[in-house]
Amino acid sequence: MNRAILKTLFLIVVAFLIMVPVITRNSYVLHVAITMGIAIILASALRLPLITGIFNLGQIAFYAVGSYGLVFLQRDMGISFWLALPLTGGIAAIIALILGYVTIRVKELYFVLVSLAFVEVVRLGIEATPFLGGLKAVVVPRINPLIIPYFHKVEFNSQVAYYYLIWVLVGITLVILYRIENSRIGTILKSIFGIPGETLARSIGINVTSYKVFSLSIGAYFAGIAGGFFASHSGIISPGSFTIPASVLVFIWVVVGGISSFWGPVIGATTLVLIGELLQKTPYLQPILYSCILILVIYLMPKGLIDFPRVVWGNAVKPLYTRVLGG
């Protein structure tokens, strides 16, 4: 697509996001938009290790680390939210670094099983730790007011403030991930996907293990940031929010949107969060519909929903257009 068109579409989306709280102050609409923002960060951060061949289904574990890490830093250590948030992302990244170097040689399906086990280890660890609340729900301290020099103090006592904060975090996340992917490091990360890629990379002196662990750590960092925000926005968290099904759902967002495209996870997370909200009164239908969508996307659009315009044009619009002209 023409770069000018993409830039125009980007500016339209940014303008729309800025205007949403002006158009409506409905708390439910803002809540859905905030949930969507969290989902986009989680899915986009998960894609980075996926493009290197790390099939990590444990993203929700780093999300949990971010949530409880923020509570610990803010409540028990007395650290301001604005310092605690990046620190809790750092904690998640360090844990991913350790986990990566210990388990990165475990390949494909086996790593999937290890990552799912890690989700349970983190959840059970939280339940067994009294100062993190154990099985009980934990009340999360409010976000400290943000004082902007020569401007004003922003109080986080409304959905509007949380809405703007999450979309600023989404913007920062996407910019950093985009810059990484389109840098020399990103080129190397893409080149080490699969055994042939790894073998070739090692033959020219690339430390494949380090690059894979780096991608896992960066993905975990932003998952931790998302978790910290989630905790502050929710006001109360419990271990039941960080389960294996929740972790698998994040993976589904990426696959449905399209792993091969940077914007795939954004589209996948947005679409499935909206569908989930529409089915909130019938939660038992959610996994059934998600499964059907996943199967249909894999069968009809292997590259994900990002490929939807091309598929529709090639299989429906173009043949019809040709037939009409031919007639």
- pLDDT tens across the length of the chain (327 residues): 556 776 788 788 888 998 999 898 889 999 999 999 999 999 999 999 999 888 889 999 999 999 999 999 999 899 999 999 999 999 999 999 999 988 877 777 788 899 999 999 999 999 998 888 888 889 999 898 887 776 677 788 889 999 999 999 999 999 999 999 999 999 999 888 877 778 888 888 888 889 999 999 999 999 999 999 999 999 999 998 999 999 999 999 999 999 989 999 999 999 999 999 888 888 778 888 888 888 988 888 888 888 877 776 566 555 555 555 554
- Take residue 106 and report the two structure tokens written for it: 């475990």
CA–CA distance from 282 to each of 279, 288, 316, 318 (Å)?
5, 11, 33, 38
pLDDT value for 291: 87
DSSP state of 142: P
pLDDT value for 258: 92
Q: Measured between alpha carbons, how far is 215 from 219 in angstroms, rounded to an integer?
A: 6
Burial 100-125 (b: 16+ CB within 10 A, else e): beebbeeeeeebbebbbebbeebbee
CA–CA distance from 211 to each of 42, 53, 93, 198, 215 (Å)?
20, 11, 14, 11, 6
CB 65, CB 95: distance < 8 Å: yes
CA–CA distance from 322 to each of 307, 309, 312 (Å)?
21, 17, 14
First to last CA, the chain: 30
| Amino acid type, 180 | I
CB 268, CB 260: distance < 8 Å: no
DSSP state of 259: T
Contacts of 102 (CB under 8 A, 6+ apart): none
| Amino acid type, 41 | I
DSSP state of 146: E
Sequence ranges of the domains in the chain: 24-245
323: left (phi over 0), alpha (psi -120 to 50) or beta: alpha
Contacts of 49 (CB under 8 A, 6+ apart): 56, 212, 215, 216, 219
Q: C-alpha 217: how far from its chain's center? A: 13
Contacts of 279 (CB under 8 A, 6+ apart): 285, 286, 289
Beta bridge partners of 139: 236
pLDDT value for 327: 47
Q: Measured between alpha carbons, how far is 244 from 114 in angstroms, rounded to an integer?
A: 12
Beta bridge partners of 138: 237
Helices (H) and strands (E) in the chain, counts: 14, 4
